Amino acid sequence: MKPNYGLAQDLIREVGEYVLGSAKIPCIPFNESGDWEEWLPKYENQTTKLGEETSGCTVHGSQNQIETLHKFLYKDAPNYSERYTYNLVPVTPFKGTDPQNTHECIRKHGLIDEQYLPMTNSLIDYIDKTAITGSLLAKGQYWLARYDYKHEWVWSPNKRPANYIDILKDALTTCPLAVSVSAWNLVGDEYVSYGDVNNHYCLLYKIDAEGHPWVFDTYDHSKKKLSKDHNIRRAKRIWLQKKTKREMGIMVKLLQNIVKSFMKPTLADVAKKYLGKDASPEDLAPDDLSCSESVTTIMRELYPETPIITGTASLHEYLDDPRHGYVRVTDYLPGTIVLSPTGFGVKGTIGHVGICLENELIASSNSFGILKGLFTQNYNPLAWRKRYVDKQGMPVFLYRRV
């Protein structure tokens, strides 16, 4: 009988807003190689020191995912307490839990350092919920005050697409993934599936040139190579960002919302309504070239005199003409239009345009991958410059309506 490492799937439960494209989590390609091996965290076995099974794979897998992304983004290596999250979910020994419960627990209760609630010798001590004191809960809330954490499924858990390996490759450019797998059946040098049901949850950190997925496991100190057709049924993507001081001030946020309720909608407000949607439904330009059409469609909703423009070069001429009410600026405030027009860079390269939202995130029509044609948060200033300035030799023009 196939063992259970702690994955208890609840596929009937509605996951709605937690599916890619629905929760509006940014899709910034931080790591275009899709290989996260260099930033893997410290190995930690999911059994107790005496070797007792905790069935905590969803906790270890999700925390390994967060620690890897944190190390990549911020160059330091946190080590969080699995026992803290495990008991707050709570996980049932010898059964486990659905990964959705674990990721939601982290989103609501935060994380604390391993030193405050480390691994125990015995399972009976590990599952002692009285160890979760008010002081530890406060530390978890302090983590939430410093970090913005979100999560979503890469596809609907009940509807895995046929090209799921290609979709995983695309998603791996945005973050390491936590995935459900069939554990563990070694044939030669790769792990093949037992059948249709998954029983384990761990970190997917790359798909190699031959198409083999590689996972960072919580047994045997091992990095495991999976078969090309391994039965990966579910995959979770995350977003992690340090909050600014302004975001950490709850009262400031409340005041901003109050003021905003009396103000006219901004270009950023209108743009946010289109996230996850096709902002160029008339399809005057193909989906992979629809950025200008999408941005001018959004502009037109706020400023009806705006023409629908399908090319970045023409849009540059429009925005640069002072008669239309736009000026060049130097900051990435919400509502700023970010433009690298065709014709300015390396011969044959194609420009792009987007609209700034909060935290200097840039939303634009996605030109490739599983979100092609949809208006998504897919850049920040660094990622934009890396692609259009460093790679394509284009300038970056910032415009804002006055």
C-alpha 308/C-alpha 283 separation (Å) is 11
C-alpha 224/C-alpha 60 separation (Å) is 16
Give the pLDDT confidence of 53-101 residue by residue, as tens digits: 999 999 999 999 999 999 999 999 999 999 999 999 999 998 999 999 9
Specify if 248 maps to a domain.
no
199 and 273 together in one domain: no
226 and 189 together in one domain: yes
218 and 274 together in one domain: no
pTM of the model: 0.71
Specify if 257 maps to a domain.
no
179 and 294 together in one domain: no
Give the pLDDT confidence of 171-229 residue by residue, as tens digits: 999 999 999 999 999 999 999 998 778 999 999 999 999 999 999 999 988 999 999 99
Provide the domain count of the chain. Answer: 2
Question: Using CB atoms within 10 A of its CB, is residue 294 exposed (0-12), middle (13-18) or buried (19+)?
Answer: buried
Question: Are 218 and 202 contacting, i.e. CB atoms less than 8 angstroms apart?
Answer: yes
392 and 331 together in one domain: yes
Amino acid found at 374 = L
Domain boundary among 173, 206, 241: 241
The whole-number pLDDT of residue 265 equals 83
61 and 178 together in one domain: yes
C-alpha 292/C-alpha 224 separation (Å) is 44
| DSSP-assigned states of every residue in 358-394 | GGG-EEEE--SGGGTTSEEEEE-HHHHIIIIIIIT--
Q: Give me the CATH number covering residue 388.
A: 3.90.1720.10
Chain centroid offset of residue 376 CA: 12
194 and 67 together in one domain: yes
The whole-number pLDDT of residue 287 equals 81
Question: Using CB atoms within 10 A of its CB, is residue 172 exposed (0-12), middle (13-18) or buried (19+)?
Answer: buried
Specify if 206 maps to a domain.
yes
Specify if 93 maps to a domain.
yes
Residues listed for the chain: 402
Which residue is associated with the tokens 């005057």? Answer: 284
97 and 24 together in one domain: yes
Specify if 333 maps to a domain.
yes
Contacts of residue 55, defined as CB under 8 A and 6 or more positions apart, other chains included, come to 4, 5, 6, 91, 92, 93, 94, 95, 96
106 and 202 together in one domain: yes
Question: Using CB atoms within 10 A of its CB, is residue 254 exposed (0-12), middle (13-18) or buried (19+)?
Answer: exposed
Local confidence band at 1 (pLDDT 50, 70, 90 cut-offs): very low
State the Cα angle at 107 between 105 and 110, rounded to 5°: 80
Considering only CA atoms, which of 375, 287, 381 is closest in space to residue 330? 381
88 and 203 together in one domain: yes
Amino acid found at 161 = P
Specify if 280 maps to a domain.
yes
- The SS3 assignment for 231 reads coil
277 and 180 together in one domain: no
Specify if 319 maps to a domain.
yes
Considering only CA atoms, which of 360, 375, 363, 296 is closest in space to residue 330? 360
Which residue is associated with the tokens 């409340």? Answer: 254
The whole-number pLDDT of residue 251 equals 41
The domain in which residue 150 lies consists of 16-241
38 and 144 together in one domain: yes
Q: What percent of the chain has pLDDT over 70?
A: 91
Radius of gyration of the chain (CA): 23
**Residue 310 in this model has a pLDDT that exceeds 60:** yes
Specify if 109 maps to a domain.
yes
